[in-house]
Chains A and B, each alone.
Chain A
């Protein structure tokens, strides 16, 4: 038995089986149960150690060879695996309460397995190829069989596909830079290609036009799943680059570049969010801001950036899941998430409206909610570095706050004497309630994330140590 087979092979096989099952509820339950089991195994199963069960003894090898290359899941990667599958379990369980949840679970399981493979493949550069294969699987999630393909999906496909050649080429050049670090031209060329590759992959300003588009056009839950899982993988991939190449890590310009890119995303995302008239697009800009915050955290890699980055992941997943689940409910009722369509829906769908508002507040960094501790740490770190950067960060957040105020105004703007009705189903109320409870728990007791924070930096050899 070996680790890649457990966390990559089995989920891929399961995804194939789930695709054949027609019952959406069964698919959700099977998918989330499998993800929970994989999370438990990732957390507790020791690798490369003889395990004895009665008279049976076995060892889980960390490596698996394929076509002359290897997939390696070391003990240090188990925290990441637990995070991936734990988050997947949450998303798959939430799919119970959304229309079109079946492809999110079956294809999502395959996507997660491929993204785990992208973090396990050696040479690690081939991750770009696996990420590309995973994103191809996302298209049926975003475009159900009976819906026409919209422009956002095509842009998503184009932008993410263009990232792969840049990253593969830059990786090849980076190996050359390792061999002759004094060759300035080579360093500049490799850096430029790498920057372009990650700009496409992470949808860095101004390459993020597809994010609000798919959030508006596609099913909010599917869009949010993709907007959570892909940037998270891409950010870990970026940190892998920084960790492996000493010259890159030691480059004095890199923190500044990452911070500037992050600030651009936070400020532009916040300002655009202030002017949106569609709740789906608002969530899209929220995802842009989250990626910007993660880049800001990685930009502090010489200090506490890796811990802050790790602290951002769970609130992001929880917030996006709750937000999109609530939006799914509103969209299935109103047909669209435009302001004109969702006006006054607070009185008919209070749990969905509260879910939207609190997820938005968590993204803003409202005290007592999950987003608050990492944002406070990040803002403090930024302010220590430069007051101007901290000021720009605040401008982005003000934009986001204006977006929230407009959202609340629209949702509560019902005609006079409209009665309160609870039209959400009990399952939606329970799931949204769980999401809100999670946000409150991680906001009030951020130390509950401590075990995860302790294990995540083990993935890297130098960062966060």
Chain B
């Protein structure tokens, strides 16, 4: 019973943080949501993996968030506006709502494919995957792109944890997550892009 409640809470956390990540414009809040998102993912992964191994995902995610946070410009410049269409929060919220509906509808099918997954795990991982993809599709900024990729990977890792528990895979996925964060940090440290007039 308690496990179920915690799993529901994790899925709820993933839903709220992934949507918030999509509409948030401040990098501080985005990184906070990303960190909380990893907490939800950690719980879902721990349903299949030993707590110590699942904790690797959590710690990796938090280090990735910290790396991205440390590489943000130090000045008090306002957060750069998204240059890709569409920019409106309302649009993103509506798109997220549509994605949530699609995810809910597809959970039974995916659970059929992967019988070792519980419905809640499927729901949580699909939410992460689809919100990450939505994020990638509405952004052209390096920071946002890395957030989207980390979200997609978090969703994939939650799904994959149910079918693969190799230490080597866990280690390589951790390296990939950290590598993505480092790439993000590197891209953030380069001069900002000036939009070419076309």
The interface on chain A, measured as residues whose beta carbon lies within 8 A of the other chain's beta carbons, has a size of 33
Partner of A148, one of B168, B173, B176, B191: B191
The reply to whether the CB of A179 lies closer than 8 angstroms to some CB of chain B is: no
A168 near B166: Cβ-Cβ < 8 Å: no
A165 at the interface (CB under 8 A from B): yes
Please tell me if A169 contacts chain B, counting CB pairs below 8 Å: yes
Residues in chain B near residue A139, CB distance under 8 A: 183, 186-187
Is B59 among interface residues, defined by CB-CB distance under 8 A?
Answer: no
- Point out the residues of chain A lying under 8 angstroms from B182, CB to CB: 136
Contact A148 B192 (CB under 8 A): yes
- Complex CA distance for A68 and B189, rounded to whole angstroms: 37
Interface residues of B in 146-177 (CB under 8 A from A): 148-149, 152-153, 156, 159-160, 163-164, 166-169, 171-173, 175-176
Q: Is B81 an interface residue (CB 8 A)?
A: no
A448 touches B (CB below 8 Å): no
**CB of B20 within 8 A of chain A?**
no
The answer to whether B160 touches A149, judged by C-beta atoms less than 8 angstroms apart, is no
Pick from B145, B163, B191: contact of A172, CB under 8 Å:
B163
Q: Measured between alpha carbons, how far is A285 from B113 in the docked complex, in Å?
A: 38
Is the Cβ of A149 less than 8 Å from the Cβ of B193? yes
List chain B residues, Cβ under 8 A from A69: 166, 168
User: A59 on the interface (CB 8 Å rule)?
Assistant: no
Q: Which of A130, A145, A153, A172 contacts B164 (CB 8 A)?
A: A172
Task: Specify which of A126, A145, A157, A189 is in contact with B169 (CB 8 Å cutoff).
Answer: A126
Is A246 on the interface with B (CB-CB < 8 A)? no
- Residue pair A66, B168 in contact (C-beta under 8 Å): yes
Q: B149 is contacted by which of A68, A150, A158 (Cβ under 8 Å)?
A: A158
Whether B180 is near chain A, meaning CB under 8 Å from some CB there, is: yes
A145 pairs with B193, CB closer than 8 A: no
With the chains together, A143 CA to B149 CA distance in Å?
Answer: 19
Given the known inter-chain contacts A136-B183, A147-B191, please indicate yes or no for A162 contacting B172, CB distance below 8 A: no
* Chain B interface, >50% SS class: helix
Residues of A within 8 A of B180 (CB): 136, 161
Q: Closest Cβ of chain A: how far from B196's Cβ, in Å?
A: 9
Judging by beta carbons under 8 Å apart, are A161 and B153 in contact? Answer: yes
Instruction: Decide if B145 touches A154 in the complex (CB within 8 Å).
Output: yes
B179 A157 Cβ-Cβ under 8 A: no
The proximity string for B residues 15-26 relative to A, scoring 1 for CB distances below 8 Å and 0 otherwise, is 000000000000
Q: Which of B113, B142, B152, B156 contacts A149 (CB 8 A)?
A: B142
Q: How far apart sit A136 and B176, CA to CA, in the bound complex (Å)?
A: 8
Residue of B nearest to A189 (CB): B113
Distance between A167 CB and nearest chain B CB, rounded to angstroms = 11
Question: What is the CB-to-nearest-CB distance from B149 to chain A, in angstroms, rounded to a whole number?
Answer: 5
Write the nearest CB–CB distance from A284 to chain B, whole angstroms: 18
Is B190 a contact of A143 with CB atoms below 8 Å? yes
A147 to B171, CA, bound (A): 32
Residue in A closest to B188 when the chains form the complex, CB atoms:
A149
Are the CB atoms of A154 and B142 closer together than 8 Å? yes
- The answer on a CB contact under 8 Å between A148 and B167 is no
A66 to B113, CA, bound (A): 31
Q: Give the complex CA separation of A28 and B162 in angstroms.
A: 45
Output the nearest chain B residue to A165 by Cβ-Cβ distance: B156
**Contact assessment for B167 and A67 in the assembled complex, using a CB-CB cutoff below 8 Å:** yes
Quote the shortest CB–CB distance from A177 to chain B (angstroms).
13
In the complex, chain B residues whose CB is within 8 Å of the CB of A164: 156, 176
Q: Are B156 and A147 in contact (CB under 8 A)?
A: no
Q: Judging by beta carbons under 8 Å apart, are A168 and B167 in contact?
A: no
**Is B172 within 8 A of A133, CB to CB?**
yes
Q: Which residues of chain A are near B173, meaning CB under 8 Å?
A: 129
Closest to A175 in B: B163
Q: Which residues of A contact B193 (CB under 8 A)?
A: 148-150
Closest to B139 in A: A154
Flag whether A421 is at the interface (Cβ < 8 A).
no
Assembled-state Cα–Cα distance A132/B169 (Å): 12
Does B136 touch A at the CB level, under 8 Å?
A: yes
- Assess whether A151 is interfacial by the CB under 8 Å rule: yes
Q: Give the distance in Å from the alpha carbon of A66 to the alpha carbon of B169 in the complex.
A: 11
CB-based contact A157/B149 at 8 Å: yes
Chain B positions within 8 Å of A133 at CB level: 172, 175-176, 179
| CB of A126 to closest CB in B, whole Å | 7
Chain A residues within 8 Å of B190, by CB: 143, 145-149
| B176/A68 in contact, CB under 8 A | no
> Does A391 reach chain B (CB closer than 8 Å)?
no
A145 to B186: give the CA distance in the assembly, Å: 8
Within the complex, what minimum Cβ distance (angstroms) separates A251 from chain B?
20
**B194 touches A (CB below 8 Å):** yes
The answer for the CA separation of A146 and B189 in the assembled complex, in Å, is 9
User: A143 and B187: CB pair below 8 A?
Assistant: yes
Chain A residues with CB below 8 A from B6, complex form: none
Q: Can you list 6 A-B pairs with a CB-CB distance of less than 8 A?
A: A126-B172, A147-B190, A148-B191, A158-B145, A161-B180, A189-B113
Q: Which residues of B contact A (CB under 8 A)?
A: 113, 136, 140, 142, 145, 148-149, 152-153, 156, 159-160, 163-164, 166-169, 171-173, 175-176, 179-180, 182-183, 186-187, 189-194
